[in-house]
Amino acid sequence: IAFGLPHIYHWASPHVETTGARETLQERYLEPTSFYWRAACYFAVWLVLAGLMSRWSRQHDETGDVRTAWKSYKLSGFGLVLYGVALHFAAVDWIMSLQTEFTSTIFGPLVFSGQILSAFAASVLAFCLLSGRNEYEGLLSAKALGDLGSLLFTLLVLWAYMAWFQFMLIWMADLPRGSIWYLSRRGGGWD
Predicted confidence (pLDDT) per residue in 144-179, tens digit? 888 888 999 999 999 999 999 988 888 888 877 777
Q: Of 4, 83, 81, 3, which is closest to residue 42 (Cα–Cα)?
A: 83
H helix runs in the chain, sequence order: 5-8, 21-29, 32-63, 66-94, 107-131, 142-173, 176-186
Q: Residue 41: its pLDDT value, please?
A: 96
Q: Give Cβ neighbours of residue 177 (< 8 Å, ≥ 6 apart).
A: 101, 102, 103
Residue 112, Cβ neighbours under 10 Å: how many? 20
Angle at 167 between CA 166 and CA 171, to 5 degrees: 120
| 2-40-93-87 Cα dihedral, nearest 10 degrees | 130
Task: Write out the chain's pLDDT in tens, 191 residues.
Answer: 888 888 888 888 776 565 555 567 777 888 888 999 999 999 999 999 999 999 999 999 899 888 888 988 899 999 999 998 999 999 989 988 888 888 888 888 899 999 999 999 998 888 888 877 777 777 777 788 888 889 999 999 999 999 999 888 888 888 777 777 777 777 665 55
Q: Give Cβ neighbours of residue 94 (< 8 Å, ≥ 6 apart).
A: 1, 39
Q: Residue 54: its pLDDT value, please?
A: 93
DSSP 31: -
DSSP 150: H
Helix axes 66-94, 107-131, angle to 10 degrees: 130
Rounded CA Rg of the chain? 21
For the whole model, what pTM was predicted?
0.76
Q: Residue 52: its pLDDT value, please?
A: 94
Evaluated on CA atoms 55, 61, 64, 67, the torsion sign reads positive
Q: Give Cβ neighbours of residue 170 (< 8 Å, ≥ 6 apart).
A: 104, 178, 179, 181, 182
